[in-house]
Chain A
Amino acid sequence: MSTGLELIPFAIAAGVGVVGRYRARRAENQASGPAPYAFQTRMQDEELFAAAVTAIGVTNPSGQGATGVTSVAGVPMSMARTDSGAFEAMFPGHIGQDQAKAALEQVDGEYARLVQERVYHQVLEQAQSQGLAVESEQVESDNSIILTLRVD
């Protein structure tokens, strides 16, 4: 008997796309003007999010880590953790949704790369303690990493 598995790392919210649910966030005291809004994200690891933001070289003027205000390609973005554990990215109303999505995709792309890197190193570090040995590894053209593990 052999089995196949599809897995999602805990750092990624299962069932949420790169750009998730849209939500208008008009402030109670805001009488007019375009309403700020938010997109659900699949990112839920604060450390990795902060590293992703740093890696793509964006500014973080508020200095509040992942939940502070950040500017990605000129798009101001602030993050807040939702009840589900994943972050929500909030944008001012004057920022077009396409612009916001592009900025979010840029952060998510780097975040995903860091998740892949973390999983890869974790497997290498912990294989032995789980009774496994790394037999081979290769990187595919789509940047997937193929690891073959042998049961010792």
Chain B
Amino acid sequence: MRIRADGSIEAQTQGMKGPECLSYIEVVERLTGAQAVDSWYTPEFYEVEHRSDEALESDQQGHDLQQNG
């Protein structure tokens, strides 16, 4: 987290998958005595989603092969 000289704070979770990172919004608010005024998904979110899409495609292909075989 970055605690700026103007008092505002930016926090970012890293390496968390699934909704686990969302549960840390409240933790960070409690920890800093602050309220979240904005939130966004980091590029890591989209990387995970992309890998999930590929995994789904791969699973689907495997399923199709089993049915055709």
| A residues with CB within 8 A of B | 1-12, 14, 111-113, 115-116, 118-120, 122-123, 126-127, 130-132, 140, 142-147, 149
CB distance from A131 to the nearest CB of B (A): 8
Q: Is the interface of A mostly helix, strand, loop or mixed?
A: mixed
Q: Total number of A-B contacts with CB less than 8 angstroms?
A: 138
Q: How far apart are the CA atoms of A5 and B31 in the complex, in Å?
A: 13
The minimal Cβ–Cβ distance linking B62 to chain A, given in whole angstroms, is 25
B residues near A127, Cβ cutoff 8 Å = 31
Q: Are A10 and B35 in contact (CB under 8 A)?
A: yes
**Closest residue of B by beta carbon distance from A43:** B7
Which residue of chain A is the closest to B26 with respect to CB atoms? Answer: A130
Contact assessment for B12 and A4 in the assembled complex, using a CB-CB cutoff below 8 Å: yes
Q: With A11-B7, A144-B3 known to touch, is A3 a contact of B40 (CB < 8 Å)?
A: yes
Cβ–Cβ contact B34 & A123, under 8 A: no
Residues in A with CB closer than 8 Å to B36 are 5-7
- CB neighbours (8 Å) of A2 from chain B are 12-16, 21, 41-42, 44-45
Q: Which residues of A contact B45 (CB under 8 A)?
A: 1-3
Do A119 and B48 contact each other (CB < 8 Å), given the known contacts A1-B41, A3-B22, A146-B1? Answer: no
Question: Given contacts A14-B37, A144-B3, A146-B1, is CB(A3)–CB(B48) below 8 Å?
Answer: no
